[in-house]
C-alpha cells in the first residue's frame, strides 16, 4: 500500500493548522497620556531667520549681524519651552551663507527648527 499521498495530505493539513492558529504576542500595557493637554500653549512663539537675496540676515524682519543672530538664538535656546525657529532663505540667497547660518543655529542648540518655503527652491539663481 502506498502511503505517500496520505503523508502529503497530512502535511497540507498540518500547514493549514499552523496558519490558522494565531501567534501569541507578548503584550506590555503602557499608560499613554491623553491627546488633550490643558496646560499646553496652543500657539508657541515662532522666530523667523530670513536670508535675503543680498545676503542680509533678518531676525523676525529686523536686520542683524551674525553675532546678534548668535545671541538671539542662544537666548531662545535657554528658554524653558523653546520657540520654533523657522529658517526661510530667499531663493536667490547665497548657499554658503545659508549653510553657515544653519551651522550657527545648530551650534547654539536650537532644538525646534523648521525649513519654510522649500517649494520656491526648484531652481537655483546663484
DSSP string, 106-123: HHTT--SEEE--GGGGGS
Task: Answer yes or no: is pLDDT of 38 > 60.
Answer: no
Task: Answer yes or no: is pLDDT of 13 > 50.
Answer: yes
User: Is 37 inside any structural domain?
Assistant: no
Q: What is the CA radius of gyration of the chain?
A: 29
User: Is 125 inside any structural domain?
Assistant: no
The pair phi, psi for residue 87, each rounded to 5°, is -105, 120
Q: What is the pLDDT of residues 76-100, one digit of tens each?
A: 888 878 888 899 988 888 889 999 9
User: Is 15 inside any structural domain?
Assistant: no
Average pLDDT over residues 12-33: 79
Confidence band for 34, pLDDT divided at 50, 70 and 90: low
User: Is 5 inside any structural domain?
Assistant: no
pTM recorded for the entire structure: 0.59
Domain CATH for 111: 3.30.420
Contact 82, 110 (CB under 8 A): yes
- 3-state secondary structure (DSSP) of residue 27: coil
Average pLDDT over residues 2-29: 85
DSSP 38-77: SSS-SS--EEEEEE-TT--EEETTEEE-HHHHHHHHHHHH
User: Is 38 inside any structural domain?
Assistant: no
Task: Answer yes or no: is pLDDT of 39 > 60.
Answer: no
Grid cell, residue 92, equals 536667490
User: Is 28 inside any structural domain?
Assistant: no
Average pLDDT over residues 70-80: 84
* The total number of structural domains that make up the chain: 1
User: Is 10 inside any structural domain?
Assistant: no
Residue 78 is part of which domain span? 46-118
Amino acid at each position: 500500500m502506498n502511503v505517500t499521498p496520505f503523508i502529503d495530505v497530512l502535511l497540507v493539513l498540518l500547514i493549514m493548522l499552523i496558519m490558522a492558529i494565531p501567534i501569541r504576542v507578548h503584550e506590555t500595557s503602557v499608560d499613554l497620556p491623553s491627546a488633550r493637554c490643558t496646560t499646553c500653549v496652543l500657539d508657541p512663539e515662532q522666530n523667523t531667520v530670513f536670508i535675503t537675496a543680498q545676503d542680509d540676515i533678518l531676525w523676525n524682519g529686523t536686520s542683524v549681524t551674525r553675532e546678534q543672530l548668535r545671541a538671539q538664538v542662544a537666548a531662545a535656546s535657554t528658554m524653558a519651552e523653546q520657540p520654533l525657529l523657522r529658517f526661510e532663505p530667499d531663493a536667490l540667497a547665497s548657499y554658503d551663507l545659508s549653510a553657515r547660518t544653519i551651522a550657527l543655529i545648530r551650534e547654539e542648540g536650537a532644538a525646534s527648527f523648521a525649513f519654510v518655503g522649500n517649494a520656491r527652491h526648484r531652481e537655483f539663481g546663484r
